[in-house]
């Protein structure tokens, strides 16, 4: 009889711990879903906001391939985002890119540098160019260069 009482207490403790673990798991799952939904909403908002900025924005990856080209950049350059995305920055800004790259190597950012930009379609536009490198320090222990952004305010 005494052994039965002991077994009942042990099983009760195990069931209590399992129930508590289930409750905590439900709480974590709810928090995860809520956080994920909030992150998706924020990402969608940021994507729409950046896509419709009134300044041209060109973003590149490590290999200097265009990964983002907003509608203002299309208007300024006369190039379509479909054609620009995936091409190298050198193909879009052939005359200016090497000077911009050297300036970025010397400093952390370029702020409103005045340039006369001639694009591959022959269109020439005076621009105030700002550019910076974006480093992803979460990817590796060292700073991992992710790419550059090149906002071009329409003048």
pLDDT at 140: 47
- Residue 47 near residue 40 (C-beta atoms within 8 A): no
Structure tokens at 23: 């409750």
Residue 142: its pLDDT value, please?
43
The confidence score (pLDDT) of residue 51 equals: 79
| pLDDT tens sequence for the chain (155 residues) | 788 888 888 899 999 998 888 888 888 888 888 888 988 888 888 888 877 878 888 888 888 888 888 888 888 888 888 988 898 887 877 677 777 777 777 777 888 878 788 777 777 888 888 888 877 655 544 444 445 555 555 54
Please give the model's pTM, rounded to 2 decimal places. Answer: 0.62
Contact (CB, 8 A) for 118 and 106: no
In CATH, the architecture of 53-153 is 2-Layer Sandwich (3.30)
């Amino acid at each position: 009889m005494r052994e039965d009482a002991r077994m009942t207490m042990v099983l009760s403790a195990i069931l209590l711990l399992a129930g508590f673990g289930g409750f905590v798991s439900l709480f974590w799952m709810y928090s995860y879903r809520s956080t994920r939904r909030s992150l998706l909403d924020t990402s969608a908002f940021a994507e729409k906001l950046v896509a419709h900025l009134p300044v041209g924005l060109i973003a590149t990856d490590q290999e200097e391939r265009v990964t983002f080209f907003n509608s203002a950049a299309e208007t300024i350059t006369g190039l379509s985002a479909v054609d620009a995305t995936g091409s190298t920055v050198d193909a879009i800004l052939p005359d200016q890119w090497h000077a911009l790259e050297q300036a970025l190597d010397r400093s952390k950012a370029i702020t409103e540098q005045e340039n006369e930009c001639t694009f591959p379609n022959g269109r020439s536009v005076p621009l105030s160019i700002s550019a910076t490198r974006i480093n992803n320090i979460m990817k590796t222990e060292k700073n991992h260069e992710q790419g550059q952004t090149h906002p071009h305010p329409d003048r």
